[in-house]
Copies of this chain bind each other. A is one copy, B any other.
Amino acid sequence: MNSDFENGIVILGAGNVATHLSIALKKAGFLIKCVYSKTIPAAKTLALKVDSHYTNEINQIPVEADLYIIAVKDEIIEEIIKHIKLKYGVIVHTAGSISIDVFKGRFKNYGVFYPLQTFSISRNIDFSNIPICIESSNKVLENKLSNLANSLSNSVHLINSKERKWLHLSAVFASNFANHMYSQASEILSQSGVSFDLLKPLITETAQKAIDNDPIKAQTGPAIRNDQNVINKHLEMLKNNPEFEKIYRILSDSIFTLNQKKENK
């Protein structure tokens, strides 16, 4: 392991990102000095997993750690930054949509350590292929944070705040919205008595196709063929569910429009 942060790491937060990141750091040999969370049971649960102290009082956080990782909900980040005290350590946040400038004027060495993945506490995750996006207040720190990231993952990237906010927005489409399409498929099937299991090979292959090729080129189905016959049948089937009907219509139009745009290029 590298020795940049040997005086230990403080984790602020005990949610999905905080949990998976702490466990990965612990596994990589780093010392987790303290877990902070407003809710003691959450702090304690994570602290036990990574062999750490814990607290729900921000002024009880040790001031002599080498690294402070803020992994809380976006809207609490500024609040934490206002109240946290540290002697010489580095402070980073893990948020896709928050600029590095949130630290400006308050700290000397600060940065962003953004693991681009969808995390759930109950789900094991292999950090080694998760892209970690690094941004830093200075070059020396950039190297240190890159080394830290390299000890967790083979996919480390220097991404500035502007790039990161576009990356985060695109991730909402590729993950949250794609998952919502699975949810809607599940809702549709639950009314027909057919098992969602039948869709699983299709979901896997659709994702794999988009990864192996360009998703725009990989598109299939009635919308890209502009098969109005099938589209109208589907809209008719959804007429008792105006929300799903609207989404079906808008996305079918959008698939066709994007395809036209690409073909005309």
Report A's interface with B, CB cutoff 8 A: 16, 73-75, 97, 116-120, 123, 125, 129-131, 133, 155, 157, 159, 162-163, 165-167, 169-189, 191-194, 198-216, 218-225, 227, 229-230, 233-234, 237-238, 243, 246-248, 250-251, 254-255, 257-258
**Contact (Cβ within 8 A) A172 B216:** no
Bound Cα distance A257, B172 (Å): 17
Q: In the bound complex, what is the Cα–Cα distance between A25 and B97 (angstroms)?
A: 50
A166 touching B191 in the complex, CB below 8 Å, given contacts A120-B220, A201-B155, A202-B117: yes
A179-B215, A183-B219, A219-B180 known; A198+B167 contact, CB < 8 A? yes
7 A-B Cβ contacts within 8 A?
A131-B198, A172-B222, A175-B203, A176-B219, A178-B203, A180-B254, A182-B215
Binding site of A, secondary structure by majority: helix, strand, loop or mixed? helix
Closest 10 CB pairs of A and B: A176-B221, A166-B192, A182-B215, A174-B185, A207-B207, A170-B185, A173-B185, A178-B181, A170-B188, A182-B210
A sample of 18 more A-B contacts (CB under 8 A), given A177-B247, A177-B251, is: A97-B234, A117-B202, A165-B237, A166-B237, A167-B192, A167-B194, A169-B238, A173-B181, A175-B206, A177-B184, A177-B255, A178-B181, A180-B258, A181-B181, A187-B258, A200-B211, A203-B210, A250-B250
Instruction: Report yes or no: B202 in contact with A186, Cβ–Cβ below 8 A.
Output: no
- The complex places the Cα of A182 from the Cα of B210 at a distance, in Å, of 7
Instruction: Report Cα–Cα, A23/B240, bound state, in Å.
Output: 41
Tell me the bound Cα distance from A133 to B93 in angstroms: 49
The answer, among B184, B211, B219, B250, for a CB contact under 8 Å with A246, is B250
Give every chain B residue within 8 A of A176 (Cβ-Cβ): 219-224, 255
